[in-house]
Structure 1
Amino acid sequence: MSHSSSHQHDHHAGHAHHHGHFHGASSNYNKAFAWGVALNLGFVVVEVIYGLIADSLALITDAGHNLSDVLGLLLAWGASYLATRSPTSRRTYGFRRGTILASLLSAILLLLALGAIAWEAAHRINQPVRVDGMTVIVVSLIGVVINTATALMFLSGQKHDLNIKGAFLHMAADAGVSFGVAAAGVIIMFTGWLWLDPVISLLIVAIILFGTWGLFRDSLNLAMDTVPSHINPDEVEAFLRSYAGVTDIHDLHIWAMSTTEVALTVHLLIPNQSVDDVFLGELALQLNERFRIGHCTVQVERGDGASCHLAHPGSL
């Protein structure tokens, strides 16, 4: 069985199925992205104005972070749209990889924003500034409502799409951040502890850093064609080796085409069995159902002396 016919059948069996799913996922979140961007952009303006009036670093910090979230949402939205664009003869995968690059850039933006916030907060611990507690409380509680509502719009998709997870993490972190800022405002009103405003800012930075680092690591791994974290490559290899008629495998590669689609290429040695489209279609179906690998290309070899040049140690 030639390489090309294996791939041709799979294109219909596995890839077409997954591509349809992706279209649906993207369009489902268009409304969530639009609302998320509009609400957060409006809130950034409110926070900056009242942060300056109240002279609260925690509020201005949160506004800066919310602005990076708007950029993150726009990135994720743009990438999810590009991922639905059809492939061309030059861009044979289309723009799917854009979703991975968007989640990576989103994480980098967040890390840069956190560094700037931490620097300013450290400076303010040495030189505390009087803060208008009531303004801080009211504005922050508005933030809790807006960010929680936005995060809930992305809740269902964040388990299966790193791009959507980036949007969800930003919003969920913001809801927690706003709640922390409101709590600081209450305590400052009753105690006059001005140092609490920058300390809360640093605590916020630490919490967001924890979530952002995971997003950065996962995005970087996908950008480097690492096997996606939800797939155990040893289990995939064991499954392929135990498949009917297979005596050996080599040149197995598993990588993410986008934040929702996974591809696989492998060479199977099947010396004693005739392989047809039904065999290849069933294999593609099994890989999709067991491991969520939706686009596989299989090369079948007889092992009749014409050894494949890729079958050498270390190619797995």
Structure 2
Amino acid sequence: MASDRSHSHADNHNGGDSHDDHDDHSHGTGRVHAPADFGRAFAVGVALNTALVAAEGIYGYLGNSTALLADAGHNLGDVLGLIVAWSASVAAKRAPSGRFTYGFRRTSILAALANAVFLLVAIGAIGLESIQRLWSPEPVAGITVMVVAAFGILINGATALLFASGRKGDINIRGAFLHMAGDAAVSAGVVVATALIQFTNWLWLDPVTSLLICAVILWSTWGLLRASIDMSLDAAPRGTDVEAVRQFLLGRPGVANVHDLHVWPISTTETAMTCHVVMPAGHPGDDFLIESASILRRSFKIVHPTLQIEVNEDNACALAPNSVV
């Protein structure tokens, strides 16, 4: 935990860098979030879903099914999302440099934001076409649509299984798993709707199903958009209670006050923190820093904590007006 020298407050410790988990964390190299074997999972997933997009696009057009075209558009977004996530996971492995001192960990946040924007554009285009079809519904090639959508269930289900083993350890992998599993369910909806059209001849079921698919995509995308914007603005992760972090630091031995506390994500899986800690008795020693880092990591998932030790309570008054105190 290195001394934070970005402010002009007195600092009477030696600035040694300390952290609690040397097995999987280092300030010198970028942390690998997705295990190497997920590179193959991404490659297979992209290949399978690209083939599915082509099949759904062709047969949706030939079969005159907006529901199938909607699912094709959704799966195209998934392909691009997998490519972007794959690229971000590779970039995140790059070591920090003189300018990019955290490496390229934030590419995972940028990837999530790009995917959310792309999906919103796709939803708008698909929704507009579906509304137009509601006013003038057209026949659907039922058997063709059902067969292609059934392949969608198999492909999306198989892709989801590729990421199943990593869904508990990495939020990006878990997101890929849930997205693919959700797509399998959407394809199942297309099969059911088309089967109903065959029995009832209710042609309006096709555009209505398409709109329902858009609603499902919008619901999942809205959460992704909000989370990625929050992360881009350096908001504290939703699972991190900043006030609880403050109270923990105030409760540490010898701490009289804390100020200038900042908690922010440096990637979709890692959280950093800086804080000025007022300790009138002076620097507490490396054991205090190591123990604090260990608890912050274990209890609050903060893997890059930085504490600046100060002896003068009045140092907080020199902060900028909008600093967190």
Same fold (TM over 0.5): yes
1:294 partner SS = strand
Q: Offset of 1:137 from its aligned partner? A: 1.0
Amino acid paired to 2:82: L
Partner of 1:177: 186
Q: Offset of 1:152 from its aligned partner? A: 3.1
Partners in 1 of 2:316 and 2:90 — Cα distance?
43
Amino acid paired to 1:216: L
Partners in 2 of 1:155 and 1:110 — Cα distance?
23
Partner of 1:23: 32
Amino acid paired to 1:245: G
Note the aligned Cα RMSD (angstroms). Answer: 2.4
Q: TM-score, with normalisation over the residues of structure 2?
A: 0.89
Aligned-residue identity in percent: 48
Partner of 2:233: 224
Whether 1:62 aligns to 2:107 is no
Q: Offset of 1:119 from its aligned partner? A: 0.4
Q: Offset of 1:145 from its aligned partner? A: 1.4
Q: Is the 8 A contact 1:14 1:296 kept in 2?
A: no
The residue correspondences of 1:74-153 to structure 2 (distance < 5 A) are 74-153=83-162
Partners in 1 of 2:142 and 2:311 — Cα distance?
76
Q: TM-score, with normalisation over the residues of structure 1?
A: 0.91
Q: Is the 8 A contact 2:137 2:204 kept in 1?
A: yes
Q: Is the 8 A contact 1:6 1:299 kept in 2?
A: no
Q: Provide closer, same or farther for how the CA distance between residues 300 and 48 of structure 1 changes in structure 2, counting only shifts above 3 A.
A: same
* Stretches of structure 1 lacking an aligned partner (at least 5 in a row): none
Q: Provide closer, same or farther for how the CA distance between residues 270 and 71 of structure 1 changes in structure 2, counting only shifts above 3 A.
A: same
Q: Provide closer, same or farther for how the CA distance between residues 128 and 109 of structure 1 changes in structure 2, counting only shifts above 3 A.
A: same
Partners in 1 of 2:143 and 2:298 — Cα distance?
54
Partner of 1:257: 266
Q: 2:277 aligns with which of 268, 271, 274?
A: 268
The residue correspondences of 1:280-291 to structure 2 (distance < 5 A) are 280-291=289-300
Q: 2:204 aligns with which of 186, 191, 195?
A: 195
Could you say which structure has the higher helix fraction?
A: 1
Partners in 2 of 1:128 and 1:7 — Cα distance?
71
Q: Offset of 1:23 from its aligned partner? A: 1.5
Partners in 1 of 2:3 and 2:73 — Cα distance?
56
* Stretches of structure 2 lacking an aligned partner (at least 5 in a row): 6-12
Whether 1:9 aligns to 2:17 is yes
Amino acid paired to 1:193: W
Q: Is the 8 A contact 1:26 1:80 kept in 2?
A: no
Partner of 2:9: none
Partners in 1 of 2:163 and 2:47 — Cα distance?
15
Q: Is the 8 A contact 1:169 1:211 kept in 2?
A: no
Q: Provide closer, same or farther for how the CA distance between residues 253 and 283 of structure 1 changes in structure 2, counting only shifts above 3 A.
A: same
Q: Offset of 1:165 from its aligned partner? A: 4.5
Q: 2:305 aligns with which of 296, 300, 307?
A: 296
